[in-house]
Amino acid sequence: MALEGVRAGFRNEAGIAAVLGILRQAFGERFQTGQAMREQHAHTTTYLPAQLPDGVVFVETAQEVQDVVRTCAAHKVPIIPFGTGSSLEGQVNAAAGGISIDFSRMNRVLEVNAEDLDCTVEPGVTREQLNEYLRDTGLFFPIDPGANASIGGMTATRASGTNAVRYGTMKDNVLAVTAVMANGEEIRTARRARKSSAGYDLTRLMVGAEGTLGVLTSITLRLQGIPEMIAGGVCGFATLKDAASAVITTIQMGIPVARIELLNDAQVAACNAYSGLSLAVQPTLFVEFHGTAETVRLQSEQFAEIVAENGGGAFEWSTDAAARAKLWKARHNAYYSAKALIPGMAALSTDVCVPISRFADCVAETEADIIENGFTAPIVGHAGDGNFHVLVLFDDKNPAEIARVEDFCVRLNARALAMDGTCTGEHGIGQGKQPFLIEELGASVHVMRQIKRALDPDNIMNPGKIFTLD
Amino acid sequence: MALEGVRAGFRNEAGIAAVLGILRQAFGERFQTGQAMREQHAHTTTYLPAQLPDGVVFVETAQEVQDVVRTCAAHKVPIIPFGTGSSLEGQVNAAAGGISIDFSRMNRVLEVNAEDLDCTVEPGVTREQLNEYLRDTGLFFPIDPGANASIGGMTATRASGTNAVRYGTMKDNVLAVTAVMANGEEIRTARRARKSSAGYDLTRLMVGAEGTLGVLTSITLRLQGIPEMIAGGVCGFATLKDAASAVITTIQMGIPVARIELLNDAQVAACNAYSGLSLAVQPTLFVEFHGTAETVRLQSEQFAEIVAENGGGAFEWSTDAAARAKLWKARHNAYYSAKALIPGMAALSTDVCVPISRFADCVAETEADIIENGFTAPIVGHAGDGNFHVLVLFDDKNPAEIARVEDFCVRLNARALAMDGTCTGEHGIGQGKQPFLIEELGASVHVMRQIKRALDPDNIMNPGKIFTLD
């Protein structure tokens, strides 16, 4: 089922040959067709088979993006935008060949408007690079998927991460984009005003479109003031349900928690081993509060009461930056810590998201499924959003094991959909989740296809992602 | 310039006649074609000329909406959704005739999921009705345009209001919609999860589409916990710039103000006269904080310091509910208080929105323009968003005066666009602002048209709004 979007379909060999010649001439050394380079730009993070582009062009300006798009459009050759390659659902695979546009040299911060709490960046800027750049301004950009992803890629997949419970996802933090559309025209989707009712929300349409409607050339982001004080801590619970209940109460009471992450015991053990933590191996919450000295104290105390009511252990919180950094580094390395449990195995990261009232049930039923089927598959979740990841380890050379993992994913997604949830809280559909998208949204997918056909009639913009057209 | 979208164009007389017959038979008394009823459903709030629909159908179920759409689609007859008729840019005018779908009988709250802080309502539910319904749950829906608008209309125009600085706009508070598209198919744009990366963001595409892509049949909304404590107050400033500076500092410091509204002296005088307030006639801020007893005290004290630094008068705040209700009622009646300044005059409400750093300049330059040109035109704004309204009074029987008002609007919008702002923070484009939309977003409007043509090839969904197709 996962191969729905991978069907290679038609390769336009004549067009591809023509484009290779033109780009080689135009970009010289900045256009590469070597096997290693092409492999590096095809998707290998999950068990989806890699599908190599025919060439990789390292663009440096929006004008160059426009030139590449026009060249590819003239010859009906696919375009696959590439940030850092950390997407998880085959988004950078070249299902029908074509040209990978690498944004690593298009990574300038174009403008910071500190007074307006916004900035404009090129797509290749990474989230860590941006926060490094912003440090002296007293501002930061809160969205933090585990990887040091590019802002372009994060925009394209509607990424979020641990801070989303407080600061929202990319949908909430992108004010505007510029993009080159399939007809070669560059558009700007909005001005810098905080809100607008000026026509269709093309900003939000481009956020999460996975490059299938146009190629981003700049992104205008909302920024946040660095909190005066950050407090955080850890607490363990006897059961997953107790931990999840504490999360639900926290959200329902409107405590403005900045991060609230749930790790099951398998994930805690993995983090202990990989990141040198020494936590008790039990369902555990990692929590963080942002505010002033007074408000983080108030919030931490309120939260401690909720923990106690739900049978949790002592909630010890502190404002110590080093301890906090170690904790959240371990959290961000959860994927690698899981992979390290059985070296040499492939890993699949799921990301269903359900209404918060169903979160405890969904996680508990999923853990029971994992145990019953003997998977090595820690669970870690953005609990405040009702979103969690199962990191399933398996031998991707073994068809029977792949089939078992696929069956597990079918059960997991069916469970989330039955709870009125989504198959993807933050990774996107890519190639891997296309059947689930159809189950989730039905006729809406038909509307998506109509939009795609209208804006990209030759299907050159990252074809085969989100849905297939035939 | 304001008539761009009003051009009536082709009236499909044969199709209209056929549809009138079918709907009369199907809906009996719930289908009306009397002059008074049709006038009531055409736009008369502003100086845009009213354009009457040919009939008004009072639907009661989504199935009936689907029946009406299919009937109209079969005969290529326009459909104009109607909530309460409080839109400000001609959104409910029937530019090419057709059928007005009145949602006043489709006003059930379908579902409240208190644990998940969400609810699902039919489009005819008004914001006051919803909050009345929710009262016992401890939850509320924060978006509050001045009028007691319908949730369907607020969704269609991407409305906001005084609370948007804290809680966002309709874009941020609609989780999902169901809608009947031009082909008669009903779609659901998302499930109830807090976040999702499942394909194109059709929810946000429908929010703000002004009924041009489909007819909403239900809206799933995020809700907020009613704050434990609400504090608020008023303070005056020597100049508009001082008041605006206090707002800018408040936002930049990240104080989570729930409402921060700026009234110029003309608006204060109008509110005094209309709503029985006795404020000093000077630029004034109305402010409100939501939280616990401790956090609203902290925020109020921080704000008082900012006021003092900006030369404002004493900021007295209280948690008295009656005083607060009187103040905000006066604020919501600002439009009527302005109209009462010269009985019998027409009023135009503008709504430009600029980045917060430019807010003081934009308001001050606009006030100078008003004074220089001798308009009676109070200013009131959602200052925290950089959004403000000029309520221009004029004689709409006098072409010269209309021309002067139109020139004023051209200058105002050019000023906002030059500051990287938008021509509409919350009212939408409708018929009145189409030339400004093109100035603001250029080639993006071309993309909007492509989407419209793909989803509504016969242009039956509220035609002539946002843009024209010819």
Contacts (Cβ under 8 Å, ≥6 apart) of A85: A40, A41, A43, A45, A92
Looking up residue A213, the CATH number of its domain turns out to be 3.30.465.10
Residues from chain B that touch A192, judged by Cβ atoms under 8 A, are 355, 420-421
The string of pLDDT tens digits covering residues B153-212 is 999 999 999 999 999 999 999 999 999 999 999 999 999 999 999 999 999 999 999 999
Is the pLDDT score of A6 beyond 60? no
Q: What are phi and psi of B32, to 5 degrees?
A: -125, 140
Buried-state track B336-367, b at ≥16 Cβ within 10 A, e below 16: ebbbebeeebbbbbbbbbbbbbbbbebbbebb
Work out the minimum CA distance from B52 to partner chain A, whole angstroms.
Answer: 23
Residues from chain A that touch B445, judged by Cβ atoms under 8 A, are 199
Is ipTM strictly over 0.90?
yes
Contacts (Cβ under 8 Å, ≥6 apart) of A465: A5, A90, A91, A95, A210, A211, A212, A429, A430, A431
What number of residues does chain A have? Answer: 470
Which 8-state DSSP code applies to residue A428? -
Looking up residue A399, the CATH number of its domain turns out to be 3.30.70.2740
Does residue A43 sit within a domain? yes
Q: Output the CA angle A228-A229-A233, nearest 5 degrees.
A: 160
Q: What percentage of chain A reaches a pLDDT higher than 90? A: 90
Does residue B466 sit within a domain? no
pLDDT of residue A44: 64
Are both A118 and A219 inside the same structural domain?
yes
- CA A119/CA A130 separation, integer angstroms: 10
- Among residues B415, B408, B407, which one has the least CA distance to residue B386? B415
Of A49 and A189, the structure prediction assigns the larger pLDDT to A189
Are both A239 and A344 inside the same structural domain?
no
Q: On the CB side of A36, how many CA atoms lie within 13 Å of its CA?
A: 0
The string of pLDDT tens digits covering residues B1-31 is 333 344 446 899 999 999 999 999 999 999 9
3-state secondary structure of B30: helix
Are both A142 and A184 inside the same structural domain?
yes
The string of pLDDT tens digits covering residues A276-290 is 999 999 999 999 999
Contacts (Cβ under 8 Å, ≥6 apart) of B409: B2, B348, B350
Average pLDDT, stretch B398-404? 94
A116/B356 CB distance under 8 A:
yes
B197, B199, B248 member nearest A427 (Cβ): B197
Does residue A128 sit within a domain? yes
B197/A188 CB distance under 8 A:
no
Domain range for A266 is 229-336
pLDDT of residue B470: 67
Are both A331 and A376 inside the same structural domain?
no
Is the pLDDT score of A409 beyond 80? yes
B443/A187 CB distance under 8 A:
yes
Residues from chain B that touch A386, judged by Cβ atoms under 8 A, are 193-194
- Work out the end-to-end distance of chain A between its first and last CA atoms, rounded to an integer number of angstroms: 16
Mean pLDDT taken over chain A:
94
- CA B324/CA B234 separation, integer angstroms: 10
A251, A421, A425 member nearest B197 (Cβ): A425
Is the pLDDT score of A368 beyond 60? yes
3-state secondary structure of A67: helix
Residues from chain A that touch B442, judged by Cβ atoms under 8 A, are 187-188
pLDDT of residue A470: 67
pLDDT of residue B437: 98
Q: On the CB side of B26, how many CA atoms lie within 13 Å of its CA?
A: 19
A252/B225 CB distance under 8 A:
yes
A197/B424 CB distance under 8 A:
yes
Nearest-CA residue of chain B relative to A194?
B385
What number of residues does chain B have? Answer: 470
Are both A363 and A417 inside the same structural domain?
yes
- CA B255/CA B435 separation, integer angstroms: 37
pLDDT of residue A416: 98
A191/B386 CB distance under 8 A:
no
- Among residues A29, A25, A80, which one has the least CA distance to residue A53? A80
- CA B139/CA B148 separation, integer angstroms: 18
Looking up residue B234, the CATH number of its domain turns out to be 3.30.70.2190
Average pLDDT, stretch B355-381? 96
Are both B201 and B301 inside the same structural domain?
no
Indicate the residue among B225, B250, B271 that finishes a domain.
B225
Does residue A435 sit within a domain? no
Is the pLDDT score of B44 beyond 80? no
- Number of structural domains, chain A? 4
Confidence band of A295 (pLDDT split at 50, 70, 90):
confident
String of DSSP letters for B17-28: HHHHHHHHHHHG
Does residue B65 sit within a domain? yes
Nearest-CA residue of chain B relative to A436?
B198
Does residue B462 sit within a domain? no
Residues from chain A that touch B450, judged by Cβ atoms under 8 A, are 454-455
Contact A214, A199 (CB under 8 A): no
Interface test with A, best of B155, B196, B420 (most A CBs within 10 A): B196
The string of pLDDT tens digits covering residues A229-252 is 999 999 999 999 999 999 989 998
Indicate the residue among B335, B363, B388 that finishes a domain.
B335
Task: Look up residue A180 and give its two tokens.
Answer: 């080159």
B196/A422 CB distance under 8 A:
yes
B185, B193, B355 member nearest A443 (Cβ): B185
H or E element that contains B63: helix B62-74
Looking up residue B69, the CATH number of its domain turns out to be 3.30.43.10
Indicate the residue among A295, A315, A336 that finishes a domain.
A336
The string of pLDDT tens digits covering residues A314-341 is 998 889 999 899 899 999 899 899 999 9
**Biggest alpha carbon–alpha carbon distance for chain A:** 69
Are both A114 and A96 inside the same structural domain?
no
Work out the minimum CA distance from B107 to partner chain A, whole angstroms.
Answer: 23
Are both A166 and A132 inside the same structural domain?
yes
* Residue whose token pair is 């925009």: A155
Contact A269, A262 (CB under 8 A): no
The string of pLDDT tens digits covering residues A429-453 is 999 899 999 999 999 999 999 999 9
Work out the minimum CA distance from A140 to partner chain B, whole angstroms.
Answer: 12
B199/A442 CB distance under 8 A:
no
Q: What percentage of chain B reaches a pLDDT higher than 90? A: 90
Is the pLDDT score of A178 beyond 90? yes
Mean pLDDT taken over chain B:
94
Are both B210 and B247 inside the same structural domain?
no
pLDDT of residue B27: 98
Are both A69 and A177 inside the same structural domain?
no
Does residue A42 sit within a domain? yes
Are both B57 and B154 inside the same structural domain?
no
The string of pLDDT tens digits covering residues B230-270 is 999 999 999 999 999 999 899 988 899 999 999 999 999 99
pLDDT of residue A43: 75
B198, B355, B454 member nearest A429 (Cβ): B198
Are both A120 and A220 inside the same structural domain?
yes
A186, A195, A437 member nearest B425 (Cβ): A195
Does residue B465 sit within a domain? no
pLDDT of residue A262: 96
B157/A181 CB distance under 8 A:
no
Is the pLDDT score of A2 beyond 70? no
The string of pLDDT tens digits covering residues A55-111 is 999 999 999 999 999 999 999 999 999 999 999 999 999 999 999 999 999 999 999
